[in-house]
A and B are shown apart, each in its own frame.
Chain A
Amino acid sequence: MPEQADVAKYNSKSDKLHKQWKVDLIGFAFIAPWLIGFLGFIIGPMIASLYFSFTNYDLLSSPTWIGLDNYINMFTNDSRFWQAIKVTFIFVFGSVPLKLAFALFVAMLFNTKRRGVGLYRTLYYVPSILGGSVAIAVVWKQLFGRDGAINDILSLFGIPSVSWVTSPDFALSTLIILVVWQFGSPMLIFLAGLKAIPAELYEAAAVDGASPLHQFIKITIPMLSPVIFFNLVMQTIQGFMAFTQSFLITEGGPMDRTLFYAVYLYEKAFAHFDMGYASALAWILLLICGIFTAFIFRTAKSWVYYESEGGK
């Protein structure tokens, strides 16, 4: 930061203050678009939802204050809430590491100048484009259904046919595979990150005789750490908020085995007309997400390396 670098020159207190005031102005000018949006369109609805969480609000008539009842109910008298928590945790811890590992692996594979690599990137990105469309739900049910292609392949190895998507034992794992398979967005971010690593670093290491594995650990991982950090934070948050996969494909079933937290919340809000309770659920989710994110941010100091900050 130039301003910061110059601070040393200004020893008198008033100068410093004057300087900080100028820096503030510049900073707020840059973040103004977000700040306007945040104050104008985000914070209001957020506070409203916090208020709803202390009310009985059925969407269609006005909310009535009931204090902490929603929260108390949730923790003491709602087995589906605990089921949703359980499912969501399994989903997050099952899918996020796998997805990130896979995305990084494929990104490294494609970070070359070989011929056809552009085409490959496209091929591998396609599943993510299909995203949450109506088509993907039908396709996925078909693929993992009883007569689907997965069973055709497994039968080659003598594994009996099961309807994976609707089996109480396998439904959740099937959804985990689905999101791992849609690894396109972290892959692209990794690719962009890999591109930002100066080739000279590798050349120098190669001259020193470092093995590819050594290069990976000593150069790729640290240089990529801001991006790994980003992907980890975002995938974790998105994992907790996951909705579409369960909603479109399994509808939370069978027997709530794939009841994602967000699906339960949605059901409460729009199918059972209990927006007050849904809002309370949402704020608990925010709390859980917040704890995990804060934890990742805390650990970041020890493993995330910023070129701009001299590797602290």
Chain B
Amino acid sequence: MKRQKNLKTLIYHGSIWVLGLFMIYPILWTIASSLKPENEIFRNAASLIPSEIRWGNYLQGWEGFGDLSFATFFINSTFVTTMVVIGTLLSSTLVAFGFARVNFRFRMPLFVCMIITLMLPQQVTLIPQYILFHKLGWVNTYLPLIVPAFIGGIPFFIFLMIQFIRGIPRELDEAAYMDGCSTFGIFWRVILPLTTPALATVAIFSFYWTWDDFMTPLVYLNDTKLYTVALGLQMFSDPASLSAWGPMFAMSVASIIPQLLVFLFFQKYLVEGITAGGVKG
């Protein structure tokens, strides 16, 4: 009996590791390339082991461009991303609760409107949106990046929260109502604690999408001192001339670290979630 259990555990962990290797191969490759001398990156591309370790790539990458180092980009990205995560968490939970639990008129048409905005490619709204933000004097500030998050700019998250809230039994609301809770009280004391795993998901995604986003900062930020990491990363390369691939890969690795940390931090809320709160309990 015990041996069988051990065998099962072995198979479980073994197969996960084998598949996992395939999962992380690209990151291993990126790390390897970030340590290779420039002319080895593509000459000896399949090899994961550099002939000599070049820490210099990290140094050269970090130094950035002119007197603009990656420290600036990291600070900027951290600021923008933190604001966006806060904004997204606030706005998407409120809006989702409204859609999922309050039976107001025009609820369905408005919900449909929200879903439709997901289907229009950004490329064609970019120009009118730019003109709008330009008129507001927001170009070359972080406002076009941050404000939309506070006003529910990403319907993906609203829809996600709606789905989770709809999964929570209404008896809980009613019980709270009987105890004298207001609607907002139900949202704050009942629903929010029960959606912790979903909130963690929203936080992880909005962090990582914002951190990675290239187009919005590219278009709206002019002053290079305001640039984010994603912009910094692509400033190393120009296919037609001499690209700094080594430093580019080095900074790509550096850029993944905050994302991993955030993931590790939030993923424990994924695990806790309901089991700790106790739906039925």
Contact = CB atoms under 8 A, between A and B. Distances in A.
A196 B195 CA distance: 8
Interface stretch (A64-72, A92-100, A181-189, A208-216): A181-189
B50 interface: no
B53 interface: no
B26 A130 contact: yes
Nearest to A310: B170
Contacts of A171: none
B119 interface: yes
A133 B233 contact: yes
Interface in A31-69: 31-38, 40-42, 44-46, 48-49, 52, 59
Contacts of B98: 26-31
A120 B20 contact: yes
Interface in B263-281: 263-264, 267-268, 270-271, 273-275, 279-280
A5 B252 CA distance: 54
Interface residues of A, number: 106
B30 A139 contact: yes
Interface in B45-89: 45-46
Interface string B150-162: 1111011011100
A42 B117 contact: yes
Contact of A265 (B90, B124, B204): B124
Interface in A107-153: 109, 114, 116, 118, 120-136, 138-140, 142-143, 145, 147-149, 152
A134 to B, nearest CB: 5
B264 A134 contact: no
Interface in B1-41: 9, 12-13, 16, 20, 23-27, 29-30
Interface in B123-141: 123-125, 127-129, 132
Contacts of A286: 116, 119-120
Contact of B148 (A26, A37, A230, A307): A37
B9 to A, nearest CB: 8
Nearest to A131: B212
Contacts of B217: none
B218 interface: no
A154 to B, nearest CB: 13
Given A130-B256, A286-B119, A196 B124 contact: no
Interface stretch (A8-16, A79-87, A275-283): A275-283
A149 B25 contact: yes
A142 B20 CA distance: 19
Interface string A225-261: 0110110011001001101000000000000000000
**B interface majority secondary structure:** helix
Contact of A34 (B123, B152, B259): B152
A267 to B, nearest CB: 10
A124 B26 CA distance: 12
Given A59-B127, A130-B256, A266-B123, A33 B95 contact: yes
**A interface majority secondary structure:** helix
Contacts of A269: 123-124
B121 A241 contact: yes
Contacts of B275: 195, 199
Given A23-B102, A34-B114, A241-B121, A142 B45 contact: yes
B123 A290 contact: no
A31 B99 contact: yes
A217 B149 CA distance: 38
A50 to B, nearest CB: 9
A270 interface: yes
A158 interface: no
A237 B122 CA distance: 13
A224 to B, nearest CB: 9
A26 B183 contact: yes
B159 A230 contact: yes
Contacts of A29: 98
Nearest to A244: B214
Contacts of B27: 126, 130
Interface of A: 1-5, 20, 23-38, 40-42, 44-46, 48-49, 52, 59, 109, 114, 116, 118, 120-136, 138-140, 142-143, 145, 147-149, 152, 181, 185, 188-189, 191-193, 195-200, 223, 226-227, 229-230, 233-234, 237, 240-241, 243, 262, 265-266, 269-270, 275, 278-279, 282-283, 285-286, 289-290, 293, 306-309
21 contacts: A5-B177, A31-B95, A35-B152, A41-B129, A41-B153, A44-B128, A48-B128, A126-B27, A127-B24, A129-B256, A129-B263, A139-B29, A192-B198, A195-B270, A195-B274, A196-B274, A198-B280, A199-B275, A234-B118, A275-B127, A290-B119
Closest 6 A-B residue pairs measured CB to CB?
A27-B104, A30-B98, A37-B151, A34-B152, A2-B177, A192-B197
